[in-house]
Structure 1
Amino acid sequence: MKFNKPIQLLAISAASLLAASFLSACSTLTVDFVYVTSAKAAGPNNYGEVNVFEINSESGRMRQIVTSPFPSGGRNPVAEAVSPDEADLYVVNRDDNSIVQFAIGSDGKLYPQNTVNTPGIFPLAVSVAGNFLYVLDTYQPLPTCNPASPCSGSIGVFPILSTAQAAALTPPQPADTLGTPVVNTSISASYWPLLLSGAAASDVFVPTAITVASSGSVYAAGYDSTTNLGYVFGFTTGSDGTLTAIPGFPVAIGTRPSAIASDATGSYLYITDSTQNVIYGFQINGGALTALTGSPFATGAQPGAIVLDATGKYAMVANTQDSNISVYSVSAGNLSRLGTYTTGTQPVAIGIDPSLNQYVYTANFLGNNVSGFQLNATDGSLLNSQFSPSTASANPTAVAAVTHGGTKK
């Protein structure tokens, strides 16, 4: 059958409207963008990559956007964080001692802005709170330390510049640019060393994780390389970003702390131990820590990451060796295990969507993929998201997420 031209135009217009409606609906159904760093990438520079997934608000399906993945701007990206306004992503590249700032487009795309070097050597974790970024370095800076003659780790603090502060730089820079690292006046250097009081000179504190509680205290966990005993350091934060050690720290804890997280209210702190296969739980009292009555709480084998949902009702732990997630209910800080759910192989990072507090995802290092789940707010059970797991670049290492439709550049 052959249409005449007016009918053809009408049919084309209708099809165009339908397509536009479909695209608009797909855009509306994207609730969050999830950013997954991967340690390896093809090509001569061996740079890492950042895979960008959109989460469907109805099915939880994680699907890479069409231009994903993006270069991480360095080698071996191992950590990432989002600026407070959700307009920028900071990617930590371990082998380059660098943090790369990416502007986040309204479509989830990444646009590289600036690169800064961390104060120490081999950064491994990062946390953002207020207008500051806190980075955990494996070693203090040269010439104090080097990989051939290692010493204990350190914390560096970067101010996150406002629009006006960044515009005042020469040349002007975009908002959320990382400023000059904050100076530790006690040692006239831009870092805070993590030193074990009374330890032998050969003892090296190996940091593993950092978090900033909403109450403002900074906690860094790790272990003594000689004794294999775990510790956690605690600091209060000044309005200028400076850190002040809390009396009584470092606190001995387990043997191999591996991950750390606090609840949204800043009332409780949780530290996983990958050797003892437990979670240590504490109540935070003015920065000091008091062990919870039921602590420690059992996990699966080699817990490597932990996250709490925004309501504080549930905690979720990625068990690296078991390739699964343990879900816990939270009552007065204490944890009760509800169930265990299979992920891809060797999950090393876990997150929960910031928009609906409903979708959980893990970066699976040996599986080269990302697992997605829907969290049941009533009973804490997890349901596999549609088409989970989703393929990622080789050896994914970290996850971060922003709300679709949030403040973007």
Structure 2
Amino acid sequence: MKLNKPIQLLAISAASLLAAFFLSACATLTVDFVYVTSAQAAGPNSYGEVDVYEINSESGRIRRIVTSPFPSGGRNPVAEAVSPDEADLYVANRDDNSIVQFVIGNDGKLYPQNTVNTPGIFPLATAVAGNFLYVVDTFQPLPTCSPASPCSGAVAVFPILNATQAGALKPAQPADTLGTPLVNTAISASYWPLSLSGAAASDVFVPTAVTAASSGPYVYIAGYDSTTSLGYVFGFVSGSDGTLTSVPGSPLAVGTHPSAIASDKSGAYLYVTDSTRDLVYGFQINGGELAALSNSPFATGGQPSAILLDANAKYAFVANGQDSNLSVYSVSSGNLTRLGSYTTGTQPVAIGIDPSLNQFVFTANFLGNSVSGFQLNSSDGSLLNSQFSPSPSNANPTAVAAITHGSSKK
């Protein structure tokens, strides 16, 4: 049947309106954006990349946005953090000793703004607390240390500037620009070394992870002594100006090879995974000091590589790299009880949870070149695979971060 022209126009208009409705509906279903760094891009000297995914609030599906991936601004990105207003992403590029600031668009896209160098060598972990970015370097700066002549790691503190401060630093700079790293007056340098009183000169403390507890705030760095094969947690309290002071009892001996560290949102408890002993150690935070929980340590799967608590500190999640799964624990007075384990892609190394609903959990799978997604049942802690999970990523994803959809300032 052949339609006359007015009816054709009406049909086209109706179809256009219907398409617009569905596009609008799809847009509103995006609850969060997830950012996944990948260590390897094409070519030995190429930049790493950042994949951007949107999470569907109904199905939990994690899907790349059409313009993804974005260059990370350096080689071998291994860590990332989000500014307090969720408007900027900071990416640590290990092989360039750099932190790149990206402004996040309303559509999740990334816009590179500034690059700063870390004081030490090979940044490996980042955390944000208050208006400060904490960056852990594998080694202290040259000429004291080098990959050929390694020494212990260190932590640097970068102030996150507001719009006025950023503009004073350099005209037309956006808010969340990183300022000059703070000075440790005790050594007249812009970092705080990881050290142990009485340690031998040959002892090298290798950091592996960092977290910032909200109460204090306290900054804790997990690592191990490469000479003695003993694990440690280094604790610092951050002053109002951001400078660091060691907490009493720091560093605390913990396991053999601490691999990941996390605190709950209230800052009451701290957890440290040990990838050699397949355990997670739990502590109560008392004025910065750490007291072991009554039932600690808790068993994990093979080679735990990451740990995260949900926003309500009701559940804890541990990624087991060797087993390629994610274990879920209930949390009661800080103690952990394992509820079950769920298959991920191969070798998960990072865990995230959506900040909007505290409902969608995801892992970056290093050897699987993928991102696994799950929906959390808040009643019993069980996980349901998200639609079309796992989603493909670029080669060797290393870290994850997420923001609430609509939180961007661009």
Which category describes the TM-score, using the shorter chain as reference length? over 0.9
Structure 2 portions without partners, runs of 5+:
none
**1:257-296 superposed matches below 5 A:** 257-296=258-297
One-letter amino acid of the structure 2 residue matched with residue 55 of structure 1: I
* Equivalent residue number for residue 345 of structure 2: 344
CA distance in 2: counterparts of 1:247 and 1:29, whole angstroms? 48
Q: CA deviation at 1:141?
A: 0.6
1:242 is aligned to 2:224: no
CA contact (8 A) 2:33 2:54 kept: yes
One-letter amino acid of the structure 2 residue matched with residue 358 of structure 1: Q
* Equivalent residue number for residue 61 of structure 1: 61
Q: CA deviation at 1:171?
A: 3.2
Q: CA deviation at 1:44?
A: 6.6
* Equivalent residue number for residue 132 of structure 1: 132
Q: CA deviation at 1:42?
A: 1.6
CA distance in 2: counterparts of 1:202 and 1:186, whole angstroms? 22
Say which SS state the counterpart of residue 75 (structure 2) adopts.
coil
Deviations 1:134-159 (A, max 9, x none): 00000001111111100000000000
CA contact (8 A) 2:105 2:408 kept: no
CA contact (8 A) 2:104 2:408 kept: no
* Equivalent residue number for residue 162 of structure 2: 162
**1:7-406 superposed matches below 5 A:** 7-43=7-43, 45-215=45-215, 216-406=217-407
CA distance in 2: counterparts of 1:196 and 1:338, whole angstroms? 37
Q: CA deviation at 1:229?
A: 0.1
Structure 1 portions without partners, runs of 5+:
none
CA distance in 1: counterparts of 2:232 and 2:313, whole angstroms? 25
One-letter amino acid of the structure 2 residue matched with residue 132 of structure 1: F
Instruction: Tell me the C-alpha RMSD between the 2 structures.
Output: 0.9
CA distance in 2: counterparts of 1:45 and 1:7, whole angstroms? 59
Say which SS state the counterpart of residue 156 (structure 1) adopts.
strand
Q: With structure 1 as the length reference, what TM-score do the two structures score?
A: 0.99
Deviations 1:113-147 (A, max 9, x none): 00000111000000001100000000001111111
CA distance in 1: counterparts of 2:26 and 2:45, whole angstroms? 36
Structure 1 segments, 4+ long, off by >3 Å, are none
- Aligned length, in residue pairs: 409
Which region of structure 1 is more displaced relative to structure 2, 170-179 or 215-224? 170-179
Say which SS state the counterpart of residue 389 (structure 2) adopts.
coil
CA distance in 1: counterparts of 2:198 and 2:29, whole angstroms? 56
CA contact (8 A) 2:159 2:181 kept: yes
Matched-pair identity in %: 81
CA distance in 2: counterparts of 1:180 and 1:66, whole angstroms? 35
Which region of structure 1 is more displaced relative to structure 2, 41-50 or 30-39? 41-50
CA contact (8 A) 2:248 2:288 kept: no
> For residues 63 and 199 of structure 1, do their structure 2 counterparts lie closer, same or farther at Cα, with a shift above 3 Å needed?
same
Q: CA deviation at 1:170?
A: 2.7
Deviations 1:338-369 (A, max 9, x none): 00100000000011110100000000000000
One-letter amino acid of the structure 2 residue matched with residue 99 of structure 1: I
CA distance in 2: counterparts of 1:222 and 1:408, whole angstroms? 36
CA contact (8 A) 2:319 2:348 kept: yes
Say which SS state the counterpart of residue 169 (structure 2) adopts.
coil
CA distance in 2: counterparts of 1:241 and 1:9, whole angstroms? 64
CA distance in 2: counterparts of 1:321 and 1:297, whole angstroms? 17
CA distance in 2: counterparts of 1:407 and 1:19, whole angstroms? 26
Say which SS state the counterpart of residue 24 (structure 2) adopts.
helix
CA distance in 1: counterparts of 2:19 and 2:409, whole angstroms? 26
Q: With structure 2 as the length reference, what TM-score do the two structures score?
A: 0.99
One-letter amino acid of the structure 2 residue matched with residue 143 of structure 1: P
CA contact (8 A) 2:32 2:405 kept: yes
CA distance in 1: counterparts of 2:52 and 2:349, whole angstroms? 18
Say which SS state the counterpart of residue 54 (structure 2) adopts.
strand
Say which SS state the counterpart of residue 388 (structure 2) adopts.
coil
CA distance in 2: counterparts of 1:335 and 1:291, whole angstroms? 13
Q: CA deviation at 1:408?
A: 2.6
One-letter amino acid of the structure 2 residue matched with residue 234 of structure 1: G
CA distance in 1: counterparts of 2:147 and 2:105, whole angstroms? 38
CA distance in 2: counterparts of 1:272 and 1:340, whole angstroms? 16
CA distance in 2: counterparts of 1:5 and 1:34, whole angstroms? 46
CA distance in 2: counterparts of 1:44 and 1:217, whole angstroms? 38
Q: CA deviation at 1:247?
A: 1.8
One-letter amino acid of the structure 1 residue matched with residue 72 of structure 2: S
Deviations 1:233-271 (A, max 9, x none): 111111111001112111101000000000010000000
Which region of structure 1 is more displaced relative to structure 2, 88-97 or 2-11? 2-11
Which region of structure 1 is more displaced relative to structure 2, 161-170 or 147-156? 161-170
CA distance in 2: counterparts of 1:129 and 1:247, whole angstroms? 21
Q: CA deviation at 1:43?
A: 4.4
